[in-house]
Amino acid sequence: MLNFIKNSVTSYNPESQNINIMKPFLKFTLSLCLLLCFSINSQAQQKSTNIPTGKIVDNENLFTKAEIKALESHISEFIKNTKIPMSIVVASMPNNVSDTSEWSIGTIESPKGIIVVISKSSKVISFGIGKELSKTLTKEKVDEILNTQVLPEFSKKQYKIGISNSINEFLKLLVH
């Protein structure tokens, strides 16, 4: 980008433009534009990843309002008993986003949390388990919960029951 601007500046007729004055001005303008773009991009990323703990974000209307209320109450009890954040996101995903197993909630300092990602349109469900929980909630255990407690209910279109079952199983494993 700098070379493009530099070349466009040097293509001016040197007698009609003072190149030495324009270079610092263009560098300043370019720097300002880059800073503004970075700031806007950073704010957009913060907004797009801000999922409230204990809440359900349902962009595909998978659950009724009553089911959301019941599940959020169940999640609140889970958080109260385990001190582990949990959220559920239901959103359509592009076909090239099939592995969400690395998604999780928590902080960099304390990466413990569970995020359930569901895409009804893509027929994908995934549990993101924070690194601190991965010793207890191993991939094998999470896959077992998914295959025995969630998918059978999902096949009957009983989505709330499937998610409630998974929360109950996580509680059994985490609260000794």
Residue 60: the pLDDT is: 92
Instruction: Write the CATH number of the domain with boundaries 56-174.
Output: 3.10.310.50
The answer to whether residues 121 and 95 touch, using CB atoms and an 8 Å cutoff, is no
Residue 137: the pLDDT is: 92
Residue 5: the pLDDT is: 34
Residue 134: the pLDDT is: 87
Which amino acid is located at 176 in the chain?
Answer: H
pTM above threshold 0.85: no
Residue 144: the pLDDT is: 97
β-bridge pairing 124-129 and 114-119:
antiparallel
Helix (H) or strand (E) holding 70: helix 65-82
Query: 21: helix, coil or strand?
Result: helix
Helix (H) or strand (E) holding 119: strand 114-119
Residue 23: the pLDDT is: 54
pLDDT along the chain (176 residues), means of 10: 33 45 49 47 42 82 96 95 91 60 55 87 87 90 96 96 97 89
Report in angstroms the alpha-carbon separations of 97 from 88, 119, 122, 158.
17, 10, 10, 24
The answer to whether residues 67 and 90 touch, using CB atoms and an 8 Å cutoff, is no
Q: What distance in Å separates the CA atoms of residue 111 and residue 161, rounded to the nearest whole number?
A: 27
DSSP label of 22:
H
